[in-house]
Amino acid sequence: MERGTSPVIEPGQIDREAGVATAQPSPCGELGWAINMVFRAFRQRASASLADLPGGPRGYLVLSAVAHDLPRSQLALAQQLAVDKTAMTYLLDALEAAGLVERRPDPADRRQRQIVLTSTGRSALAEFGERLAEAEQRLLSALAPEEAYAFRQFLDRVARSTKEVTEPCTVEEIPDPGVGLCP
Amino acid sequence: MERGTSPVIEPGQIDREAGVATAQPSPCGELGWAINMVFRAFRQRASASLADLPGGPRGYLVLSAVAHDLPRSQLALAQQLAVDKTAMTYLLDALEAAGLVERRPDPADRRQRQIVLTSTGRSALAEFGERLAEAEQRLLSALAPEEAYAFRQFLDRVARSTKEVTEPCTVEEIPDPGVGLCP
DNA sequence: TATTGTTATACTCTATAACTATA
DNA sequence: TATAGTTATAGAGTATAACAATA
Does residue B144 carry a pLDDT above 80?
A: yes
Q: What is the pLDDT of residues A46-76, one digit of tens each?
A: 998 998 899 999 999 999 999 988 888 999 9
Does residue A21 carry a pLDDT above 60?
A: no
Q: What is the pLDDT of residues B1-48, one digit of tens each?
A: 333 332 222 333 333 333 233 334 445 568 999 999 999 999 989 998
In 3D space, the residue among B175, B72, B68, B39 whose CA is nearest the CA of residue B129 turns out to be B68
Q: What is the pLDDT of residues B72-106, one digit of tens each?
A: 899 999 999 999 999 999 999 999 999 999 999 99
Whether A117 and A66 have beta carbons less than 8 Å apart is answered as yes
Interatomic distance B11 CA / D12 C1' (Å): 35
Q: What is the pLDDT of residue B10?
A: 30
Does residue A174 carry a pLDDT above 90?
A: no
Residue A10 DSSP code: -
Whether nucleic acid strand C comes within 7 Å of the CB of A111, the answer is yes
Q: What is the pLDDT of residue A3?
A: 31
Q: What is the pLDDT of residue B29?
A: 64
Partner residue opposite A7 with nearest CB, options B15, B108, B159: B108
**Distant-in-sequence contacts of B141-145, Cβ < 8 A, 24+ apart:** B141/A161, B142/A157, B142/A158, B142/A160, B142/A161, B143/A154, B143/A157, B143/A158
CA distances from A98 to A85, A102, A153 (A): 20, 10, 34
For residue B70, the Cα-to-chain-centroid distance in whole angstroms is 21
Whether A80 and A99 have beta carbons less than 8 Å apart is answered as no
For residue B147, the Cα-to-chain-centroid distance in whole angstroms is 19
A-chain residues within 8 Å CB-CB of B147? 154
